[in-house]
Structure 1
Amino acid sequence: MERFEFEDFLDDELIFTEFEADNKEELIFKLSKIIEEKGYVTKYYANDVLQREKKYPTALPTEVMSVAIPHAESSDNVMTPSIVIAKLKYPISFIEMGSFDQKVDVNIVFLLAVKGSKTQLKLLPKLISIFSNKEEMKKIQQANNSKQIFQLIKDAMQA
């Protein structure tokens, strides 16, 4: 059985608060560059994510704050699985999941760089369960540093 631990994907060095970008394209490029410089993805990863985002938007409006979970369709450009989390200083417009024109002002982004569809299928429901939990999202919204956010998400994923 494949081992699945949240810690395999994230460390607090990949969590950012007050992150700034002018639009979703710039945001995805900036976040991808961070993990590219760590050797986790290739320079082509950001383009893979943007192509998938055009076909299958990833914004989820929630009661507390809206979330986007951009990720690539293929794991060809992922060397080391990771999740980059960015709480945004200013909301950025994404398109709502399941829609092609419904804009959502997103407050937090989870950029997923994972290998294999099985891993993605295990990870996405766990994340979505956090996003749909009003109390957990309030805690994440109020957290003001990467270590707090890391611990909140880790605890929520293990619940």
Structure 2
Amino acid sequence: MSDGLVTKDLVQVDLEVASTGELFAHMSHMLQEAGYVKESFGDALALREATYPTALPTQPEAMAIPHADAVHILEPFIAPIRLASPIPWHEMGNDDVTHPVRFVFLLGFTKADGHVKVLQDLMIASQDPEFFPRLASAGSAEEYFSAVQSIQG
């Protein structure tokens, strides 16, 4: 998936958080420390998600693809995250509906429409009946990284 955008240091496996707010705080701190985002990223991410939710009702499990505007990004990235337990997440285009989300692909792009191609690739991958089981069964960050790398695009 998107050569160079997914790196092993951004993979989070079985991350323990209770809400999107906790997830965003953890990831924005980590990404800022690693030099991927500006200090403004965390607040921008939370605001964008509140305005434009990003959970997708994929089957057999929903996934979310949160991102902030390009002005908050220093280096482009894709951070693949598997949560220890699903958290409620509002559906993209229908924020009256929530889904339990365990798989998150946090995106950061320096171009305004950079996320569109990744979204398309993830939607295609989610059609594969082995996609979510492969992500779910990864026993380590290394295996999860390999499973994400297998996504075409």
- 1:30 corresponds to 2:16: no
- 1:147 corresponds to 2:142: yes
The 4+ residue runs of structure 1 with deviation greater than 4 A are none
1:59: Cα distance to partner?
Answer: 0.6
Scaled by the length of structure 2, the TM-score of the pair is: 0.92
Q: Which amino acid in structure 2 is aligned with residue 26 of structure 1?
A: E
Q: How does 1:81-92 map to 2 (within 5 A)?
A: 81-92=76-87
Aligned to 1:125: 120
Once residues 105 and 60 of structure 2 are traced to their aligned partners in structure 1, the CA distance between those partners, rounded to angstroms, is 16
Aligned to 1:68: 64
Q: Which amino acid in structure 1 is aligned with residue 2 of structure 2?
A: F
Aligned to 2:110: 115
Scaled by the length of structure 1, the TM-score of the pair is: 0.89
Aligned to 1:46: 42
Q: Deviations over 1:32-52 (max 9, x none)?
A: 111110011011101111111
Between Structure 1 and Structure 2, the one with more strand by share is: 2
The gaps in structure 1 that reach 5 residues or longer are none
Among candidates 11, 14, 25, match of residue 15 of structure 1: 11
Identify if the C-alpha distance between structure 1 residues 117 and 12 changes in structure 2 by more than 3 Å, giving closer, same or farther. same
Once residues 6 and 147 of structure 1 are traced to their aligned partners in structure 2, the CA distance between those partners, rounded to angstroms, is 17
Once residues 148 and 7 of structure 1 are traced to their aligned partners in structure 2, the CA distance between those partners, rounded to angstroms, is 17
Structure 1 SS opposite 2:35: coil
Moved more, 24-33 or 149-158: 149-158
8 Å CA contact 1:17, 1:86 repeated in 2: yes
Once residues 12 and 128 of structure 1 are traced to their aligned partners in structure 2, the CA distance between those partners, rounded to angstroms, is 22
Identify if the C-alpha distance between structure 1 residues 15 and 93 changes in structure 2 by more than 3 Å, giving closer, same or farther. same
Structure 1 SS opposite 2:133: helix
Between Structure 1 and Structure 2, the one with more helix by share is: 1
Identity %: 28
The gaps in structure 2 that reach 5 residues or longer are none
Number of residue pairs the alignment of both structures matches = 153
Q: Which amino acid in structure 2 is aligned with residue 157 of structure 1?
A: Q
Once residues 131 and 86 of structure 2 are traced to their aligned partners in structure 1, the CA distance between those partners, rounded to angstroms, is 20
Aligned to 2:131: 136
8 Å CA contact 2:13, 2:144 repeated in 1: no
CA RMSD of aligned residues (A): 1.5
Structure 2 SS opposite 1:152: helix
